[in-house]
Structure 1
Amino acid sequence: MSNNQVVMYGAEWCGDCRRAKAWLVRNAVPFTEIDVEHDEAAQRRAVELSGRQNIPVVVLPDGGILVEPTDAELAAALLPTNA
């Protein structure tokens, strides 16, 4: 996994995962999606990263972690600001 790309741990059945994925695609944010539903190692890694059972777990390019982020939280973390 590249250090300059977003990584999202999620599952196809997860509504928040689908919403977050759609936001990433809509905003042209490159990301790697890891399906935790059938991959126990990925499940463990997502819990290890977040300290929680919730998905999606979004790993930011700077190493920060978002768990079940809203669209606004994704925007604040990933879109450039017009400062």
Structure 2
Amino acid sequence: MKNTLLHKAKTLLSYILIISAGLGIGIGAKYGLDLYNQQPNLISQNTNPHYKGVDSKVIIYTTQWCPYCKKAKQYLTDNSIDYIERDIESGSEEINRLYKSIGYPGVPKIVIGNKIINGFNESLLSNVLSSQDLL
């Protein structure tokens, strides 16, 4: 009787350890993958091609359906910042080429000087605009 009870306890403990290890590995793998795929908030690169033939100091790559694009445009408008909007779904090959040159998917992408803000982050946008004497 004691051996059977001890055997059942050991088996149950083994199952619990195996399941716990599996969960730990799975959660760790997901965290590692998320960290690996994380996009930078601020990208520094040569932005000269984005400004070719443009007078504005701010360019924003958007889509019509993106709520964060709308927030970014509203922020720029509220702060009297002139900008050029480039809709990446407009079908323009030039806009798509420039957008893809940034190297990270998603919108909005806000080009200011030699910096590109990846997404809408109000405090980062304020800092970059201030550093370019635009705010």
- Counterpart of 1:46? 99
> Within the alignment, does 1:32 sit opposite 2:61 as a pair?
no
Structure 2, unmatched stretches of 5+, are: 1-53
Structure 1, unmatched stretches of 5+, are: none
Alignment of 1:15-30 (within 5 A): 15-30=67-82
Equivalent residues of 2:69, 2:120 under 8 A apart: no
> Whose RCO is larger (CA < 8 A, sep 6+)?
1
Say which SS state the counterpart of residue 47 (structure 1) adopts.
helix
- Aligned pair count reads 78
CA distance in 2, matches of 1:67, 1:39: 22
- Report how far residue 47 of structure 1 moved: 2.1
Task: Calculate the TM-score normalised by the size of structure 2.
Answer: 0.52
The root-mean-square deviation of aligned C-alpha atoms, in Å, is 1.8
Larger radius of gyration: 2
Q: Write the deviation string for residues 41-83 of structure 1: whole angstroms up to 9, x where unpaired.
A: 213321212x1111111110x22111103111111111368xx
Task: Calculate the TM-score normalised by the size of structure 1.
Answer: 0.81
Larger fraction in strand: 1
